[in-house]
Amino acid sequence: MSSFSDERPPARIGPPGRAWLVVGPVSVRYATTLVSVRPEMIEVADVTGGRALNTAVLPMSDADAGEVCSDGRAPLFYLARVHDGWRPYTQVLYTPAELLFMFLGDEVLTGDPLDETTARAWFSQLSERHRRYSAQLNNHQRFFAVHRPDEEIEHKFTLAAELDIWSLATRLLAAVTAGNLPGWIGEYRNEFEQWDFFNHLYEIAEPAAERGYVSFIPAVDGSWIIKRKWFAQDQPIRREQRDRGVVLPADADLEGEITARFGITPAWGVSFRRVRFDINVESLRTGHGYSVMFDRCTTMTGPSAVLQQCEVEYLRSRTLRRIDDAELLAEFGLLCDWVRDWLHDQRVDVVEDHLSKLSFLRRTTNHAEASAGPGPSGEPITADSNPAERKLPGGQPC
């Protein structure tokens, strides 16, 4: 541990507006035996601009950060100046290009970071805060939380069937990467996903409390994903259940599986193929992550029918804070506004009617008479949306 001893030279004093990288032994993240170690305070760029962010990304191109990481030392915390003190962040992702930090707790630090007594106290306090959340912070990608885990929050823009959704997806990704969505980044190291899978969907028309659908998605490892959604009409917030890794017989009776598992009988079923290109984005201010999905669904029997949509969907949150429902829904609405404006700028005509895959398949496969007939709804998402009043179903990528 000599690299972190008191023999280190004192930190350099930087100009106002700079931030500090707190360097020390990584063992303080999981052990309490090094509480007397003096941290190093390394002057680095302020990437927050004085804003109270949830997420801060420090480029390795900052000379001091690169020097620290190449010397075998551990960049543990990041302190950014705010009006009433220093906002602390803890490092959760380390890459050759950047360090990603998350806001650590609800309190700012006050005092002089160049005062040794203060720096030691801060280091002990921040290490203890980090250890308090060690299960989330010390394990890869376990820092994500999902708000309303049994519901899907999404907004659909229905597109013309002849549009090139690959081109739209890559152009939107370029817009995000170029900074045209201020205060947001592509979800870190997961900005773009592509999917291609079959879906066998069965409508549940009765009893009324169970209306919606059950679908079976074959996974690449031979297992199945069983997804169930409950809803009486097409709407932006729906209840959802998703079971992964389900093992079924090679010639599985899917209708029989529905009855055996859920005690209900499907009205009808149809298969379709889904191709999707997802642009994942996250808010630096809140840590909430969303996906803008460009989606093409094609029926597999009879005359082929095509549904293309751009779906904006809440996915997950990279945060230790309690998630505020109203804040998330308001931010989701702002992202939908941005996507709407972007599509308009691309001269893309859209229809916003919350059209579900179920309603599309009912229309195109002549099953209207066999269904309960839930149809499109123009109900917007609001912060006042009450679970008891949402008529119920949800997502994440398959």
Domains in the chain, start-ordered, CATH in brackets? 2-137 (no CATH), 144-389 (2.40.320)
Tokens matching residue 152: 């899907």
Percent of the chain with pLDDT over 90: 73
pLDDT in tens, 3-52: 333 333 333 333 445 899 999 888 888 877 655 677 889 889 999 999 99
Span 363-383, average pLDDT:
57
pLDDT top residue among 62 and 281 = 281
CA distance 179 to 184: 8
The per-residue pLDDT for 371 is 58
Q: What is the mean pLDDT of residues 67-75?
A: 76
Average pLDDT over residues 343-347: 98
Q: Taking a C-beta distance cutoff of 8 angstroms, is the pair 52, 87 a contact?
A: yes
User: Identity (one letter) of the amino acid at 326?
Assistant: A
pLDDT surpassing 60 at residue 282: yes
Per-residue pLDDT at 151: 97
pLDDT for 61 equals: 81
**pLDDT tens column, 201-250:** 999 999 999 999 999 999 999 999 999 999 999 999 999 999 999 999 99
| In the predicted structure, residue 382 carries a pLDDT above the cut 90 | no
- State the pLDDT at residue 35: 55
The per-residue pLDDT for 84 is 84
Does residue 197 surpass a pLDDT of 60? Answer: yes
pLDDT of residue 38: 77
pLDDT at 190 over 50: yes
Q: Tell me what pLDDT residue 81 has.
A: 93
Q: What is the pLDDT of residues 131-188, one digit of tens each?
A: 999 999 999 888 899 999 999 999 999 999 999 999 999 999 999 999 999 999 999 9
Predicted local confidence at residue 14, as pLDDT: 38
- At residue 381, the pLDDT reads 36
| Mean pLDDT score of the chain | 87
Q: Is the pLDDT of residue 281 over 70?
A: yes
Output the pLDDT for position 205.
96
Whole-model pTM? 0.86
